[in-house]
Amino acid sequence: MRLKKLFKGMILLLAVSGLGLCTWLGYRWYKQESLFPLLTKTKENSKEKPIWVSDKPTPKTIEPGAYLSALNAILNDDLEQAASLYLKVLQGDPENDKIQREAYFFNAMLGNFEVLRPVVPKMSPEHRVVFLTDYVEMGYALHDQNWSKVREKVANRRPLPLDEIVNPLIVAWSYAGENNFQEAMKALEPLKKQKGLTPYYYYHQGLIAMTLGNSFVAEEAFQKLASDKLLTVSLYPEIRDFFVRTGNWRIENPFYVQWQLFATEQPATAELIMQRESTKMTPIRGVAEAFYNISTAMGSSQNSYEGALILSALSLYLNPNQDLPKIWNAEILEQAGKPQLAAHYYKQLKGPLTQTVEFKKASNLISCGHEEEALPLLQELKRANRESTPLWLALANVYQKLKNWPAALRAYTRVLEIEGESNRTYASDIYFARSFIYSQQQQDALAESDLKKALELNPDNPMLLNHLGYQWLERDQTLDKGFELVEKAYKLRSTDPHIIDSMAYAYYRKAQYQKALPLAEKTVDIMPQSSVANAHLGDIYKALGRHREAVFQYRKALALKYDLTPELKEELSAKIAQNKGAAPK
């Protein structure tokens, strides 16, 4: 099966099919305080007070510097290290509620629930609601197979937004743990009364019946799901396994028909389900399945990522030998812009995986800056998928990062051979990317040819106009054409600092220095780290006779590393030498 076809079902690999549970969760999942901003703060992107800045004094710690090290680990995306360090901080300041919740959050995201046993009971009531710690405590009782304590936890705690679905499932499975079929069925009844929850009533009725040896009730429940078209993606694996084991995997079975339709529409997910190892259902696995089911529904709703991650991680705590929740967690974290944390779950995947999951693992490695590790995975996939443009694009990206210009060139060319120019914007982007590779190989004529082709296919793309226009500004014979292109780019996107810089340089090349100056100064205000922008401002100062300011800008540009090339470094050094004495060192 071609990898390109498999991608169609992978935007949200295991998202729920939309049978009412997402809507049900939408109005019951309250907007609570969120720790997710803690995962998305960076050194540059926020002027607000970071969530980790507390009004309390710096916490005590048994290891000096552990708190600051934890904050630094967050900024460097080393969240596994942050989770470990927060626990050390908490040992020295165990009553600090801020450290409690952050230690809990990071370790829960990673599924480290066992180390949180002493932390969870101490958390404040409001944090217990936000971060589902009552469910985690029930998870501990389930893990210990203390079935009566599970029911005690359900009965003696404050209500939570998800109780209407969680409580019946957990109580039912606790009775299944005691081999009490009748009480388990009775506990599930509340789910049957709400339309959005009926799939989970029939599904877990079937699983419990299957676990306790009542195949007749199990088959009846599963067929009810299929005939009433109540199936969601996360329910398919166990039901398919049941019918295969019981020998009822044939066309007369309504679930078989539903499966064939599903496999046609979502081949990637179907292939993953077929490759998973079938194991015997137990009460612990049943609760793990329940937490995973709810997590997939929550992850399809806005503002529910924290809860979805915690429940899915709790599912893995109860049943660690599952691949589907690991992939699901990785997908959620990638959507949240945290590839480093997603990598924690991708690394846990063992055994043969579908080509799509292998590709996602490789893409995650690229996002984490591990191109050399991603390359052999992509090369192996290429052997069976020589017509896959996403695969060739990923290879081009990796080769480009590794500065293997000939291989990157072949990959981009292969994409153009496969796709042609029917999608003009897409083809334009590939020509643009390939032009950069040609320029790195000093094949300037071919680089310019690709830029022209890209602009022909997408004539109003400001980045293309700016890129080709800037190149033409460098040559006297194409100066006027270059000015026209940059001016058009500026009219289309006058807020882009790179285009503002090009417009300043265009006026400079036309000797219109007074028009160039405010644009160059604006660029340096926006991009103070740019050697090119500072060098351009220096050139304009020099043209206006402001030599001391010009040399200051040249020296500043030389000290910066953001876009300082060897050629520019040599040019700046020469300009400073020519103006020796114009400015103090």
If you write DSSP's letter for every residue of 351-381 in order, what string do you get? Answer: S---HHHHHHHHHHHHHTT-HHHHHHHHHHH
Q: 30-82 pLDDT, tens per residue?
A: 334 444 444 443 334 434 443 333 444 556 655 668 888 888 888 877 878 88
Q: 532-550 pLDDT, tens per residue?
A: 999 999 999 999 999 999 9
C-alpha–C-alpha distance, residues 296 and 290, integer Å: 10
Mean pLDDT, all residues of the chain: 83
Whether the pLDDT of residue 212 is over 90: the answer is: yes
Q: Could you give all domains of the chain from N- to C-terminal order, each with its CATH number?
A: 1-17+142-336 (1.25.40), 36-130 (no CATH), 472-585 (1.25.40.10)
Residue of 564, 502, 553, 501 lying closest to 531 (CA atoms): 564
H-helix segments, 386-530: 389-401, 405-419, 424-440, 444-457, 462-473, 479-492, 497-509, 513-526
pTM value > 0.85: no
CA angle 430, 436, 437 (to 5 degrees): 90
Among 10-14, 40-44, 424-428, the minimum mean pLDDT is found in 10-14
* Cβ(343)–Cβ(364) below 8 Å: yes
* Cβ(276)–Cβ(354) below 8 Å: no
**What long-range pairs does 63-72 form, CB within 8 A, spacing at least 24?**
63/88, 63/89, 63/92, 66/92, 67/99
C-alpha–C-alpha distance, residues 547 and 524, integer Å: 18
Q: Which residue has the tokens 């992509």?
A: 378
pLDDT band at 5 (very low <50, low <70, confident <90, very high): very low
Residue of 108, 100, 119, 46 lying closest to 79 (CA atoms): 108
Task: Report the percent of the chain where pLDDT is more than 70.
Answer: 85
The number of residues in the chain equals 585
232 versus 295: the higher-pLDDT residue is: 295
C-alpha–C-alpha distance, residues 464 and 20, integer Å: 46
Burial class (CB in 10 A: 0-12, 13-18, 19+), 580: exposed
Residue 577 has a pLDDT of 86
Residue 507 has a pLDDT of 96
Residue 300 has a pLDDT of 54
